[in-house]
Amino acid sequence: MDKKNRQPVISIEELEERARELVTPIDFDALIRAGVMEKHRAWYKILKMDELPAHAKAKIYKIKTDDKETLVQFRAPSKRLTKVLDGKRGKG
C-alpha cells in the first residue's frame, strides 16, 4: 500500500478521548450503590455491564467469566498520562 493512501488507525481526537478515559477515576462506591457491580476481594463482579461507564470499561485489565458471573480487575488511573493531559491543557 502506498504511504500517501494510508489512513490513520485512530484519529487524534479519538486518541485524546481514550486518554481522558484512562485518567478519569472510577467511583467504585457509587457504582456499587447503583447495583452496577459488587466487590469480591480483589475483584469486582459486574452485574450490569451496559451501565458500566466507558472510562471504567477502558481500565479493565483482567477478566474471569463463567456461566454465572463476570469478575474484573481495573487498572489505576495513569499518573503519567494525567500529567501529559494537564500540560496540554495549559498550552492550549
Could you read off the pLDDT of 47-64 as tens digits, one per residue? 999 999 999 999 999 999
| Dist. CA 61–CA 44, nearest whole Å | 12
Contact 78, 41 (CB under 8 A): no
pLDDT in tens, 72-91: 999 987 778 778 777 765 55
Query: Quick one: which of 11, 8, 15 has its CA closest to 88?
Result: 15
The alpha carbons of the chain give a radius of gyration, in whole angstroms, of: 17
DSSP H helical ranges for the chain: 12-23, 28-33, 54-57, 79-91
The whole-model pTM stands at 0.74
Q: pLDDT confidence of 37, banded at 50, 70, 90? A: very high
Residue 83: its pLDDT value, please?
80
**Grid-cell match 486518541, residue found:** 15
